[in-house]
Structure 1
Amino acid sequence: MKYDEFLARVRERGEYASQDEALTITREVLAVLAQRITPGEAEDLASQLPGPLQRALTSADHKQPEKFGIEEFHRRVAERTGARPRTAPWDAGAVLTTVADAVSGGELNQVISQLPSSYAVLFGKADLAD
């Protein structure tokens, strides 16, 4: 998927006012995701995303993934985007369902396998959640 198409999908799904807002939300959600998965997996995922978005996943400065649940994921997204905590699931879902559309099924499975099952819904895979 090309960069402009990716951001257009995020903008539509998130109902954002502009492409710039969609880009900001995308970068911040990917940065939080990068904290939760292994650095190697973050690099693998980044390799399947449009070039300008890859840095959000690969610039994280950690050796091991942090262990936190979906509520903390949402809190971190809200903190990074300056949004209310209640809108963070919406923001995360807009970005991560687009990620699910943009990457191979195998790569998506690798990412989801590193996360608690409750995260699957964020990627549009509610059937994989508890």
Structure 2
Amino acid sequence: MDSNEFIRLVSQRAHVPEEQARELTRATMLTLAERITGGEARHLAGFLPAEIAPPLVPPEDVAQKFGVAEFVRRVSERGGVDETVARRGVAAVFMTLREAVPDTEFQDLMSQLPNEFQNI
């Protein structure tokens, strides 16, 4: 999947314009990089288009511990949108990630997140 298709799918799924989908994707990837281990972030980035992957380079290797509410709050702040739009954006990015990377890689990602992320 190339970056244009990734953004188009996020846009459709989140019901936002493509430019906003691009910002929501970037904000979600930055937040995801904080929430998962550095090794997992780098591994996941290897499966993604070059334009999508850079925010996944984590600032540190240790994952921060926070739940969905904090994840959405951070995406909202970074994306400059309210939390309702941020939640739709996060869900859209996760749905698109599920399609863009091998199933085993997506399961590895989800194993580092609390179960509440299954229902986002």
Into which bin does the TM-score normalised by the smaller protein fall? over 0.9
Aligned length: 120
Structure 1 unmatched runs, 5+:
123-130
Distance in structure 2 (CA, Å) of the matches to 1:118 and 1:75: 15
Q: CA deviation at 1:95?
A: 1.0
2:2 maps to 2
Counterparts of residues 1-130 of structure 1 (less than 5 Å)? 1-17=1-17, 19-58=18-57, 60-122=58-120
Task: Give me the TM-score of the superposition, normalised by structure 2.
Answer: 0.94
1:67-102 alpha-carbon deviations (Å, 9 max, x no partner): 001111111111111111232211100111101110
**SS of the counterpart of 1:52?**
coil
Stretches of 4+ moved more than 4 A in 1? Answer: none
Distance in structure 2 (CA, Å) of the matches to 1:87 and 1:5: 20
Taking only aligned residues, the RMSD between alpha carbons, in angstroms, comes to 1.1
Task: Give me the TM-score of the superposition, normalised by structure 1.
Answer: 0.87
